[in-house]
Amino acid sequence: MIDYLRGKVAYAESEYVVLDVHDVGYQVFTPNPYGLLRTDEPVQLFTYHHVREDAMQLFGFTTRDEQALFRRLLEVSGIGPKVALGVLAGGRPENVVAAIQQENLAFLTKLPGIGKKTAQRMILDLKDKLGTIDSRWAVASMIDLQQPQNQPEEGGSSWAAAREALAGLGYREAEMDKAWLSMKDRITGEESPDTLIKLALQQLFQG
């Protein structure tokens, strides 16, 4: 099993990066691929190797906690790797953990691919299983997950959730506002937070 990879990002697409590790290119699906293009330094991704009859895929995360939460999400009936990846792209991991602990359906159902029944299963299956992930993020339980703080109404709830995820990647308010101005004319209002994150990261990478 591959636990982690360390190398330079050679290429990024909307769902994955190609990580150059000693002249071998690994395709790694990751929550926010374009965010990894912010540095020319080698990056380390903690991985999950998913094997099925018709494919083998690597999923990668910048922290051990994201890796652990991804594995926990896969234990929930109805959540596969792509949906679990969308959850991590659409919400900061500490907020996802806090929402599960607080049984916050309103927050969970805003995440990409998560309907009410799946959110209920997440709470039922994971509330008592988050262990050390929850203890390290205990402060997140104090966050108001119903409405992200300091988010403009423009763009709706999907953009508010996308901004929160982008802030978690280290982007500043001014950078996010600039990205929104560049992309808002192409937005229909039907996009998910995951889609808006990817569009914004494209704009942010282009400068």
Beta carbons within 8 Å of 180's beta carbon, 6+ residues apart: 154, 155, 159, 200
Distances (CA, A) of 24 to 7, 118, 167: 10, 38, 32
Residues paired with residue 52 on neighbouring β-strands, in sequence order: 55
Q: Is the pLDDT of residue 48 over 90?
A: yes
**pLDDT value of residue 138:** 46
Strands (E), the chain: 4-12, 16-21, 24-29, 43-52, 55-61
> What pLDDT score does 147 carry?
43
More confident residue, 126 or 157: 126
Q: Is the dihedral of CA 191, 134, 50, 120 positive or negative?
A: negative
- Structure confidence at residue 37 as a pLDDT band (50, 70, 90): confident
Calpha distance 80→77 (Å, rounded) = 8
Contacts of 72 (CB under 8 A, 6+ apart): 126, 129, 130, 133
Convert the pLDDT of each residue in 82-116 to its tens digit: 999 989 887 778 888 888 988 999 889 888 889 99
- pLDDT of 132 reads 57
Residue 198: band (very low, low, confident or very high) from pLDDT cuts 50, 70, 90: confident
Cα 129 to Cα 101: distance, rounded to the nearest angstrom:
10
Q: Give yes or no for residue 128 having a pLDDT over 50.
A: yes
| pLDDT tens by residue, 137-153 | 544 444 444 444 443 34
How many angstroms separate the CA atoms of 21 and 72, rounded? 27
